[in-house]
Structure 1
Amino acid sequence: MLLVYTHKISPRLNYVFKHICTRVLGIDVTFTTKVEKFIAHDSIKMSYTKQALGNEFFVKSNDLLFEQGLNDIEINIMDWGGHSKCFFFNGDKSAIPFDIFAASFYLLSRYEEYLPHVKDEFGRFTASESIAYKHKFLHQPVVDIWAYKFKEALQKQFPDFEFPTKTYSIKPIIDVPNPYRYKLSGIMRTIGGTLKDVFRFKFKSLYTRFMVLMHFSHDPYDTFKYVINKQKQSKFRFSFFFLLGEYSTYDKGANVNNKSFISLIKHVGDYSNVGLKISYFAIDDADVLKKEKTKIEDIINKPLRASRQSFSKLNLPETYRNLIELNIKEDYTMGGYVNEIGFRAGSCTPFLFYDLDYEIQTPLKICPYHVMDFALLKHKSLLDKKRVLNNIINEVKQVNGQFVSVFHNYTLSYSDRWSGFKDLFNIILESGNNEN
């Protein structure tokens, strides 16, 4: 067990040390403000304060972990070790020249998302507003990289201490805003879609629509048999997120009362985890969210564990507070951004949500995703897509993290737009299944 001496045990300090030491590195950590207890400890230990006690392993602390509320923080980004960026420089007397704990807290708590910023048309925090994007380290899980550098420094000081080993894993996410392109649309939507196809001269779409409706052709969005077969071959559980919200400008899913749709969800649940894709209007309306949660629990016959927000929209801290209020345990909305690949919170290790307004660690586990299918579309060739995908996978492998990808059910269809995406999905699965 790692013992940390500090001048003050704050909720922020407790939170970030437990993420880095326990969640990332797998070692237990405890704290003390008493010098006598620290000196008497005969195992691995360090001090985290303003001044070293003696010649112990010492990391000079920034004020961030001992503050409350939001403050105007000056952040100067610097290079560290030739391949990583850091901030909160703390001088040469520290065993590590940056306060990695304060920096990690800044990223994990999403401190910058509480500060004034420009939102996109859906009200989302954008990549271009983040320090990781501005300073070109969005593509790296810097929190995990810092944690392993911290581990290396500790090992030099305590060579007899055995650190546990962690292995790379994957978490494939299948987002289902609409299970079918043409099936289960209902009469009015079918008529409306038919008229649109005619007026826009989309005769190929019109032909496919009626071939599907007359059961002569397979619905292009119906890729569930393919994905379930892949699930059977994988040692990692996939997670499907189904949209059950009302038809609206933003959400155009299937009718939740349709028996075929209900049967599909139950069938998928026999093989994989099933979660709720929260509708756009439920994100800011706790009553609507509660109704959607009740609907899916009635279908899967067990408490809802995990969620994803429609359009990957987050309003911090309200979005997460609503999930906590309804006892939802995990959320998969925090990502590298819809159109960017990377690590929004700087980590590829799931972490607990810290509410900066209340200054408390909450029980909600945030499982950040690192690539969404749409972000790969900006790369023209399949070769470039594979190169970019393999690069981000390797970043996660180097720190034994969990690689989370978000693909939609229609991504794995035979549509020209998504050509080659089955190959990309297989690269992800193979990266996990090939690990010992």
Structure 2
Amino acid sequence: MLLVYTHKISPRLKYVFKHICTRVLGIEVSFTTTVEEFIAHDSMKMSYAKQQLGSEFFVKSHDILFEQGLSDVEINVHDWENTKCFFYNGDKSSIPFDIFAASFYLLSRYEEYLPHVNDEYGRFSATESIAFKNGFLHQPVVDIWAYKFKEKLQKQYPDFEFPPRTYSIRPIIDVPSAYTFRLKGLLRSFGGIIKDLSELKLKRLYDRFMVVFGFKHDPYDTFKYIINKQKQTKHKFLFFFLIGAYSTYDKGINPNKKKFVSLIKQVADYCKVGLKASYFAIHDPIILKREKLRMESIINTSLTASRQSFSKLNLPESYRSLIELEIQEDYTMGYVNQIGFRAGSCTPFLFYDLDFEVQTPLKIWSYHVMDYSLLKTKSLLDKKRVLTDVINEVKNVNGEFVPVFHNYTFSDDERWKGFKELFNMILESANE
């Protein structure tokens, strides 16, 4: 156990120390404000304050962990060894910056509460982030800092044994629409035919009729292939099905269709199934509750995981709605068009509500790459190189790699050529 001496035990301090020490490094941590108790402790210990007590391991504290609410925090990013850092604290500290304050800033998504410019869907853009602006979005810096903290602690306490941590993967399969042409209903199918004719998409029109009349396989129906892949690995895939109403943004399959319900049940026999919340459910807790209950009636068990349509998050409201409905896990945190670590970490973390100053029970799995972001790179060779780089970043800190693919990514569409191979690379990375 690590004992931390500090002048004040705040909710923010407990939150971030437990993430770094317990979730990343696997060690218990406790806190004291009593000097005598700290001196009497005969195992690993450190002080986190403005002044060092003696010759103990010491990290000079930044004020952010002892504040409440938001303030105009000054951020100056520095180079540090093979990474970046901020909240520099001088030479007297065992580490030249406050890794706990910096980690809290990234994990709590402090910057997303501050004034910023949203994209056309109302999302926080990667280009607005401190990580993108300062060139460290590609690194899980919170985990890198934690491992450097561990190295320095081990030098001072060479007899202390840290538990091992191993690299793992958690593949996400996002299903905004299970089929291209099947189960779309008469009105939507007729509208699709008119649209194909008006745009002279004769090949698509031919495919539509062949699928509808059962002469051809639906292009988006790749579920058999994905389930076969699931059978080849011990790492569970997470499927997120959209079952919300048809709208401007969401064009999924009607959840009342028996064949669609049957598909979800079939997938749930092999993989974990969560809810892809519709675009309007993000803003309306009543719609979200309706979709949650509908999904639970399909899978015949409590819904534990969700993902928001278009990867849209409104902090803290989006997460408060999930907590209210007792949804335990969220997989929305990430950037659709940018590879990297939105929260600076490849270790799942609990959502901290900055308005209420409380750690919540909602666990966040931040995703690190979405198939769309790989379309930016032209050749398959470049895609492999980019994917290998991000996998290696996670492997270096024995973290958990979370990629997001869609059911149509595995189709024969020219756009997604080579993506089956990329997905295989991810699966194989966990077996090496």
Give the TM-score of the pair, scaled to structure 1: 0.99
In the alignment, is residue 33 of structure 1 matched against residue 33 of structure 2? yes
Percent identity between the two aligned chains: 74
Residues of 2 paired with 1:269 and 1:64: CA distance?
44
- Unaligned regions of 5+ residues in structure 1, if any? none
SS class of match (1:341): coil
Residues of 2 paired with 1:194 and 1:383: CA distance?
37
- Write the mapping of 1:25-424 to structure 2, written as runs, cut at 5 A: 25-81=25-81, 83-335=82-334, 337-424=335-422
One-letter amino acid matched to 1:302: T
Q: CA deviation at 1:302?
A: 0.6
Residues of 1 paired with 2:257 and 2:218: CA distance?
17
Which residue is 2:10 aligned to? 10
Q: CA deviation at 1:167?
A: 0.1
SS class of match (1:275): strand
Residues of 2 paired with 1:211 and 1:45: CA distance?
69
One-letter amino acid matched to 2:122: G
One-letter amino acid matched to 1:185: K
SS class of match (1:156): helix
SS class of match (2:171): strand
Q: CA deviation at 1:432?
A: 1.1
Measured against aligned partners, the alpha-carbon deviations of 1:32-89 in whole angstroms (never above 9, x if no partner) come to 00000000000000000000000000000000000000000100000001x2000000
Residues of 2 paired with 1:280 and 1:232: CA distance?
32
Q: CA deviation at 1:171?
A: 0.2
SS class of match (1:254): coil
SS class of match (1:298): helix
Measured against aligned partners, the alpha-carbon deviations of 1:240-267 in whole angstroms (never above 9, x if no partner) come to 0000100000000000000000000000
SS class of match (1:3): strand
Measured against aligned partners, the alpha-carbon deviations of 1:390-417 in whole angstroms (never above 9, x if no partner) come to 0000000000000000000001100001
SS class of match (2:402): strand
One-letter amino acid matched to 2:53: L
SS class of match (1:85): strand
Residues of 2 paired with 1:156 and 1:90: CA distance?
21
Measured against aligned partners, the alpha-carbon deviations of 1:121-176 in whole angstroms (never above 9, x if no partner) come to 11000001000000010000000000000000000000000001000000000000
SS class of match (1:433): coil
Residues of 1 paired with 2:214 and 2:102: CA distance?
57
Q: CA deviation at 1:433?
A: 2.5
Residues of 2 paired with 1:226 and 1:30: CA distance?
48
Measured against aligned partners, the alpha-carbon deviations of 1:198-244 in whole angstroms (never above 9, x if no partner) come to 11011110111111111111100000000000000001000000001
Residues of 2 paired with 1:164 and 1:426: CA distance?
30
- Decide whether the 8 Å contact of 1:20 with 1:147 is kept in 2: yes
Residues of 2 paired with 1:190 and 1:67: CA distance?
57
Residues of 1 paired with 2:15 and 2:297: CA distance?
35
- Decide whether the 8 Å contact of 1:235 with 1:433 is kept in 2: no
- Unaligned regions of 5+ residues in structure 2, if any? none
Residues of 1 paired with 2:420 and 2:191: CA distance?
31
4+ residue runs of structure 1 moved beyond 6 angstroms?
A: none
Residues of 1 paired with 2:152 and 2:144: CA distance?
13
SS class of match (1:308): strand
Measured against aligned partners, the alpha-carbon deviations of 1:285-322 in whole angstroms (never above 9, x if no partner) come to 00000000000000001110000000000000000000
One-letter amino acid matched to 2:317: E
- Decide whether the 8 Å contact of 1:411 with 1:418 is kept in 2: yes
Residues of 1 paired with 2:430 and 2:268: CA distance?
21
One-letter amino acid matched to 1:45: K
Residues of 2 paired with 1:214 and 1:429: CA distance?
36
Residues of 2 paired with 1:433 and 1:249: CA distance?
42
One-letter amino acid matched to 2:404: V
Residues of 1 paired with 2:325 and 2:48: CA distance?
37
SS class of match (1:338): coil
- Decide whether the 8 Å contact of 1:278 with 1:289 is kept in 2: yes
Q: CA deviation at 1:421?
A: 0.4
Residues of 1 paired with 2:233 and 2:212: CA distance?
33
SS class of match (1:427): helix
Residues of 2 paired with 1:131 and 1:51: CA distance?
29
Give the TM-score of the pair, scaled to structure 2: 1.00
Residues of 1 paired with 2:109 and 2:390: CA distance?
21
Measured against aligned partners, the alpha-carbon deviations of 1:330-375 in whole angstroms (never above 9, x if no partner) come to 000001x100000000000000000000000000000000000000
